[in-house]
Structure 1
Amino acid sequence: MSRVPETSRKSTEAALAAVQRYADNPSAFLALNAGNELFVGDGGELVAYREAGRFFIQFGGVFGPANRQEAVLREFRKYARDRRRTIAGIQLQRSDAELYEAAGFVLNQVGSSYSVHLPEFTLRGSRFMKLRNKISRAARSGLEVREVAFADHRAGVEAIDAAWLRAKGRHVKEIEFLVGEIGGPVQRYRRLFLGQLDGRPVAYISYSPAYGSRSGWLHDLSRRLPDAGPGVMEAINATAIQTFSRERAEWLHFGFTPFTGLDASHDMASRSALTERFLRFLAEKGDSDYPAGSQLAYKEKWGPQLVLPEYLAFEGSASLRAVWHILRVTKSM
């Protein structure tokens, strides 16, 4: 096994094949983000990570067949050890967490992911009245939503991004390791829904494919102009849901939100009490470091039927230093 440069076209194709074939994590497509380093096994298995200090910060678990994951993890640990690096993982699913715990890692729940089962989804009923009103208000403002090709609307998308960043201020922190991107060699697999007012692009949502047992789409990167008006993002997502439902997609995943849904029922036997207290402190601290509350509110308004815990993994033992490096690499702090 060997690490291959993330800039290599061959490595990107190998990583894509591993995600498509083996990944059961709805956010697995994010492993293909630019800036990730890739450890590719002899059988095409994948581990995606970034380096931070003496740590390899790994995203997700081992993307490979179940009967190979233990061996690939062992090889990746040797690769890290030979380079005097310690592994710390983030956004592991429960099955990943159990594999890593058996290998001696310490596991703590760090947040939750939220998903809607599209065949059951409806906006009818009093529960969704406010959501319907917001969507209707956006439509009355003249908003037009359609699926477009990024290559044809690059300038408009980049203008939205620039305005969004300016509005957030110079201290804005995007969790770039845990959210998607637009462009690059795998853009053709993503889908882009654009909202326009009088022909002017005002907002967009990019969706990434989700594979595995809950296949469908991941509600990924979303941006809007500050003056886009209320209900714009909801109207765009509603249009995408209609499209995906017509195509008989099974799931729309809203992805991972850190520091949410922390519950003792999800605890692993190996958990670190110190890390647990620190994560609960961050959860209670609210939006001052990361807007978990506003993200959660947006996701919950769609009535997700599935909420799953996601985990941090620490090789050997947990430490606040390891947690700090994870949060720094993901720009959660």
Structure 2
Amino acid sequence: MRPHSPSRPSADQAALDRRVALLAAYADNHSAFLTVNRDTEYFEIAEVDGFVAYRRSGRTRVQFGGVVAAPDRQAPLLEAFLADARSAGERTLAVQLTPADLPLFGRSGYRINQLGSSYALELSRYSLAGKHFVPLRNKISRARRAGVQVAEVGVDRPATADLTAQLAALDRQWLRSKGSHELAFMIGERSGPADRYRRLFVAERDGQVLGYISFSPVPGTRPGWLHDLTRRHPDAPPGVMELIVSDAVGRMRHRAEPGWLHFGFTPFVGLDQRHRVAGGSPAVDHVVGLLARRGGKLYPAADQVAYKLKWRPHLIQPDYLAFHGRPSVGAVARLLRLTRVI
């Protein structure tokens, strides 16, 4: 993970760069870069080169992703984190764990339940050929015929004051239209010091920004980019977001970049008995299952997963939620409020 525009770092920038370097060395989670979001707290100990990223909700520490450290140093760092939380009278839970995280967290006393699924596309196998992709190809062609053009900011066009103002206005408009239905904590950001590691593709027509997608770097065994923050103008023609993805993937493939485009995590989808973990909480399974069946008004999971599945991803894997000790209804509610699922 190299910044696009190196500069003399401030103390905060140096701390960010150090954490990004740790992610590159040790993380194996498609959403690991989200741990450098603003307002994230970090637990570290002198004996281990690594960190645990979390946020607080009441007396609960909500950890994001696995432990970022060398494999043989993850257990002592996690145990130190748990001991520190106990001494402060706080509970701990973890979200967006991958299957590879489960042995460590299981041995440390966590009860683990599936929360949703994540989706990824292998760039070397990417193609829009075939009858399955006819609707997708038509949407992309429609956007092109409407005069929409895609540019990578900082590569194809500069980040001008006018562009910055349009992006900020689009953010405000989008969030007003969505209410609170955007995952906080488990989704990326635009603007801030970490932007120099991200990539931003914008769709424009006649100088007007119609939408954008930011891509965050993904380390680990399936390196590549995370299809992260998205915004679409209400007046944008159909196919604008699909056109951005198509052009971005085309550029990634042309440059022979690392192998995967990750569409990220969606809660309450892909739930399957095969993904259940021994010792998981039946109560948490019940709540998650209820939200999967009846929670469409709270969080639009079905729309999200339909968008991801239209690309026919090559990998679908479960993501997990883990409580240290016995889960409580209050802790589940705090998690859902912290992440803005409710």
The answer to whether the superposition gives a TM-score over 0.5 is: yes
1:178-217 deviation line (CA, Å, top 9, x unaligned): 0000111111110000000111111000000000100000
Retained in 1: the 8 A contact 2:181–2:300? no
2:336 matched residue in structure 1: 327
1:22-72 deviation line (CA, Å, top 9, x unaligned): 110011000000011111233321111000111000000101111011110
Retained in 2: the 8 A contact 1:33–1:181? yes
Counterpart-to-counterpart distance in 2, 1:297 and 1:235: 16
Counterpart-to-counterpart distance in 2, 1:122 and 1:285: 35
Retained in 2: the 8 A contact 1:87–1:315? yes
Counterpart-to-counterpart distance in 1, 2:159 and 2:263: 25
Query: Which one of the candidate residues 162, 181, 192 is aligned to 2:189?
Result: 181
> Structure 2 counterpart of 1:161, which letter?
D
> Structure 1 counterpart of 2:101, which letter?
D
Q: Say which SS state the counterpart of residue 63 (structure 2) adopts.
A: strand
> Structure 2 counterpart of 1:283, which letter?
A
1:154 matched residue in structure 2: 164
Counterpart-to-counterpart distance in 1, 2:199 and 2:333: 33
Query: Which one of the candidate residues 23, 27, 38 is aligned to 1:23?
Result: 27
1:52 matched residue in structure 2: 57
Counterpart-to-counterpart distance in 2, 1:34 and 1:253: 22
1:93 matched residue in structure 2: 98
After TM superposition, the structure 1 stretch with the greater mean CA deviation from structure 2, 41-50 or 129-138, is: 41-50
1:277 matched residue in structure 2: 286
1:310 matched residue in structure 2: 319
1:134 aligns with 2:139: yes
Counterpart-to-counterpart distance in 2, 1:27 and 1:247: 23
Per the alignment, do residues 77 and 180 of structure 1 end up closer, same or farther by CA in structure 2, a change over 3 Å counting?
same
1:78-116 deviation line (CA, Å, top 9, x unaligned): 111121111111000112122111111100000010000
2:304 matched residue in structure 1: 295
Query: Which one of the candidate residues 241, 252, 267 is aligned to 2:261?
Result: 252
Query: Which one of the candidate residues 204, 218, 223 is aligned to 1:210?
Result: 218
Retained in 1: the 8 A contact 2:44–2:77? no
Counterpart-to-counterpart distance in 2, 1:59 and 1:189: 20
1:129-174 deviation line (CA, Å, top 9, x unaligned): 0000000000011001111138433112112112212333xx3332
Retained in 2: the 8 A contact 1:167–1:226? no
Counterpart-to-counterpart distance in 1, 2:153 and 2:195: 12
Q: Say which SS state the counterpart of residue 157 (structure 1) adopts.
A: helix
Superposed displacement of residue 10, structure 1: 4.4
TM-score (norm 1): 0.95
Q: Say which SS state the counterpart of residue 231 (structure 2) adopts.
A: strand
Query: Which one of the candidate residues 60, 74, 94 is aligned to 2:79?
Result: 74
Superposed displacement of residue 20, structure 1: 1.4
> Structure 2 counterpart of 1:325, which letter?
R
> Structure 2 counterpart of 1:222, which letter?
T
1:167 matched residue in structure 2: 177
Query: Which one of the candidate residues 219, 222, 228 is aligned to 2:230?
Result: 222
Runs (5+) with no aligned partner, structure 1: 1-6
> Structure 2 counterpart of 1:279, which letter?
V
Retained in 2: the 8 A contact 1:157–1:201? yes
1:3 matched residue in structure 2: none
2:8 matched residue in structure 1: none
Q: Say which SS state the counterpart of residue 194 (structure 1) adopts.
A: strand
Retained in 2: the 8 A contact 1:14–1:44? no
Superposed displacement of residue 9, structure 1: 4.0
1:36 aligns with 2:40: yes
1:231 aligns with 2:235: no
Superposed displacement of residue 8, structure 1: 4.1
> Structure 2 counterpart of 1:41, which letter?
I
TM-score (norm 2): 0.92
Retained in 2: the 8 A contact 1:207–1:221? yes
Superposed displacement of residue 19, structure 1: 1.1
Counterpart-to-counterpart distance in 1, 2:271 and 2:171: 32
1:228-253 deviation line (CA, Å, top 9, x unaligned): 12100000110001011112230000
After TM superposition, the structure 1 stretch with the greater mean CA deviation from structure 2, 74-83 or 202-211, is: 74-83
Q: CA RMSD in A?
A: 1.3
> Structure 2 counterpart of 1:162, which letter?
R
